[in-house]
Structure 1
Amino acid sequence: MAASASNDSTPPGDGADNPILCVICSEPFQRITDCLVHELLEHESLPQKGLRQRLNPSGSQLSQSERYELRDALDKSKRGAPLLEVLQFFAADLSKMELCFDYVSSYIEQSMKGLVVVTSFGSLASDLAVKGSDIDLYLEACSVQQPKKLFGQVERFLRRNKSFTNVFHIRRAAVPIIQCRHQPTGIDIDINISNPYGVHNSQFVRDLMSHDKRLRELTLFLKIWAKKLKIIGKGYMSSYCLVTLIIVSLQVLRLVPSIKELQTLCPPVYMSGINVAYNLNQMPTIPSQMTTLKLIRHFFDYYITVDFGKSVLSAFLGSCLDKGFRRDRAMCVQSPFELHRNVAGSMGPSKLHYFRQCLVLAAQGCSNRALISQPAKLYYYLLFGISDKLGSEKTEMATLQKELKVDVSGDGRKKIKLEKALALTIGLSHLITPTRNELKCLSSGVLGCTKPAGVLTIYYNWLNCYVYVIRDVLTQLFAMKIELKESKSPHYFKWLISSSYDTWTGRSYQRGAGQSFYAHQLQQTIEFKKTRMENPEYAVDMRGYFSLLASKDYKELRMDVEPLPGDFLEPPLTKLFKVFKNMLNEYSFKEKTTAWKYRSESE
Structure 2
Amino acid sequence: MSDLETRPSKPNVPTLPDLAQDNAANCKVCDAPFKTLKECLAHELLKHTIKPQKKLRKCLDAITKLFASEQTQAERRTLQAALLQSPNGKHLRAVLGFYAGNCGALAQCYREVRKSIQQQMQGKVKVYPFGSLVTGLALKDSDIDLFLEQIHGNSHTMSHSQLFKRTNNFLRRSDCFADVIAIRHARVPIIRCKHVVSGLSLDISMSSPNSTYNSRFVAELLNRDVRLRELFLFLKIWAKKLKIIGSGSMTSYCLITLIIYQLQQQRHLPSIRELQIGIPVLDIFGINYAYSLEHVPALPASLTSFDLITGFFELYSHMDFEKKLLSPYLGHALDVEAALTVPGNFPEYDAQMLAIERATQEQIEPFQIERCVCVQDPFELLHNVGQSISQTNLYYLNQCLAAAAKACNDAKLKSTPSMFYDYLLFGIAEHLLQEQRLEYVQPAKQRKQIPSTTRAAPADADAVAVAVPVPVEPPVATTTEATVSNQVIAKLEEPTALSADDKRPTTMDNSIMPLMHTYTLTPTNNDLKTLRTDFLGKTRKQRKPIYYCWVECYVDAIKDILSHIYALNMQELDANEPVANTTDTLPRHMSWQISTTLDTWTARNFQRISRQSFFAQQLQQTVEFTKTRPQNPTYAVSLSGRLSLIIGEDYKELRLELQPMPGDALGLQRQSPLTKFFKSLKNMLCNYNFKEKVISLQYER
Q: TM-score, normalised by structure 1?
A: 0.62
1:139 aligned to 2:151?
no
Code of the aligned partner of 2:61: Q
1:477 — aligned with what?
A: none
Paired positions, count: 413
1:211 — aligned with what?
A: 224
Correspondences of 1:107-118 after superposition (within 5 Å) = 107-118=116-127
Out of 316, 320, 337, the residue aligned to residue 379 of structure 2 is 337
Correspondences of 1:98-177 after superposition (within 5 Å) = 98-143=107-152, 144-177=157-190
Kindly state the Cα deviation for residue 199 of structure 1 after the two structures are TM-superposed. 0.3
Cα distance in 1 for residues equivalent to 2:518 and 2:183: 42
1:357 — aligned with what?
A: 399
Cα distance in 2 for residues equivalent to 1:372 and 1:247: 26
Percent identity reads 40
**Maintained 8 Å contact 1:55/1:390:** no
Kindly state the Cα deviation for residue 186 of structure 1 after the two structures are TM-superposed. 2.3
1:322 aligned to 2:364?
no
**Maintained 8 Å contact 1:181/1:188:** yes
Code of the aligned partner of 1:78: P
Bigger Rg, which one: 2
SS of 2:191 mapped into structure 1:
strand
Q: Deviations over 1:343-376 (max 9, x none)?
A: 0110011111111111011011111111233334
Cα distance in 2 for residues equivalent to 1:388 and 1:375: 18
Cα distance in 1 for residues equivalent to 2:138 and 2:317: 27
Out of 266, 274, 279, the residue aligned to residue 266 of structure 1 is 279
Q: Deviations over 1:238-276 (max 9, x none)?
A: 111000000111100100111011001412111111111
Q: TM-score, normalised by structure 2?
A: 0.54
**Maintained 8 Å contact 1:136/1:189:** yes
Structure 2: 5+ residue stretches without partners = 1-49, 341-367, 450-475, 482-516, 540-548, 555-605, 616-646, 653-701
Cα distance in 2 for residues equivalent to 1:303 and 1:393: 21
Cα distance in 2 for residues equivalent to 1:135 and 1:61: 28
1:52 — aligned with what?
A: 60
**Maintained 8 Å contact 2:180/2:193:** yes
Out of 273, 296, 301, the residue aligned to residue 309 of structure 2 is 296
Cα distance in 2 for residues equivalent to 1:106 and 1:286: 40
**Maintained 8 Å contact 1:259/1:316:** yes
Correspondences of 1:53-452 after superposition (within 5 Å) = 53-56=61-64, 58-60=67-69, 63-143=72-152, 144-323=157-336, 324-325=339-340, 326-400=368-442, 403-404=443-444, 407=447, 433=528
Deviates more, 1:68-77 or 1:378-387: 378-387
**Maintained 8 Å contact 1:164/1:181:** yes
**Maintained 8 Å contact 2:103/2:136:** no
Q: Deviations over 1:251-308 (max 9, x none)?
A: 0010011101100141211111111100000011211111110110010000011100
Correspondences of 1:446-465 after superposition (within 5 Å) = none
Distance change >3 Å, CA 103–CA 351, structure 1 → 2: same
Cα distance in 2 for residues equivalent to 1:173 and 1:193: 12
Distance change >3 Å, CA 45–CA 245, structure 1 → 2: closer
Distance change >3 Å, CA 197–CA 488, structure 1 → 2: farther
Determine which structure has greater relative contact order: mean sequence separation of CA pairs < 8 Å that are 6+ residues apart, divided by chain length: 1
Distance change >3 Å, CA 148–CA 59, structure 1 → 2: farther
Kindly state the Cα deviation for residue 164 of structure 1 after the two structures are TM-superposed. 2.2
Cα distance in 2 for residues equivalent to 1:122 and 1:148: 23
Kindly state the Cα deviation for residue 441 of structure 1 after the two structures are TM-superposed. 11
SS of 1:140 mapped into structure 2:
strand
**Maintained 8 Å contact 2:132/2:142:** yes
**Maintained 8 Å contact 2:83/2:417:** no
Correspondences of 1:531-546 after superposition (within 5 Å) = none
**Maintained 8 Å contact 1:311/1:332:** yes
Q: Deviations over 1:116-172 (max 9, x none)?
A: 111110011111111211111111112431111111111111111233222111211
Kindly state the Cα deviation for residue 104 of structure 1 after the two structures are TM-superposed. 1.6
Distance change >3 Å, CA 175–CA 436, structure 1 → 2: farther
Code of the aligned partner of 1:179: R
SS of 2:179 mapped into structure 1:
strand
Q: Deviations over 1:202-256 (max 9, x none)?
A: 0000000111111110000000000000111222211110000001111001001
Q: Deviations over 1:544-600 (max 9, x none)?
A: xxxxxxx9xxx99xxxxxxxxxxxxxxxxxxxxxxxxxxxxxxxxxxxxxxxxxxxx
Distance change >3 Å, CA 432–CA 153, structure 1 → 2: farther
Cα distance in 2 for residues equivalent to 1:158 and 1:419: 66
Cα distance in 2 for residues equivalent to 1:164 and 1:420: 62
Cα distance in 1 for residues equivalent to 2:266 and 2:219: 20
Cα distance in 2 for residues equivalent to 1:227 and 1:44: 24
Cα distance in 1 for residues equivalent to 2:439 and 2:447: 15
**Maintained 8 Å contact 1:61/1:228:** no
Correspondences of 1:468-483 after superposition (within 5 Å) = none
Structure 1: 5+ residue stretches without partners = 1-42, 445-454, 461-484, 493-550, 557-603
Distance change >3 Å, CA 406–CA 180, structure 1 → 2: same
Kindly state the Cα deviation for residue 413 of structure 1 after the two structures are TM-superposed. 9.4
Cα distance in 1 for residues equivalent to 2:146 and 2:519: 49
SS of 1:261 mapped into structure 2:
helix
SS of 2:64 mapped into structure 1:
coil
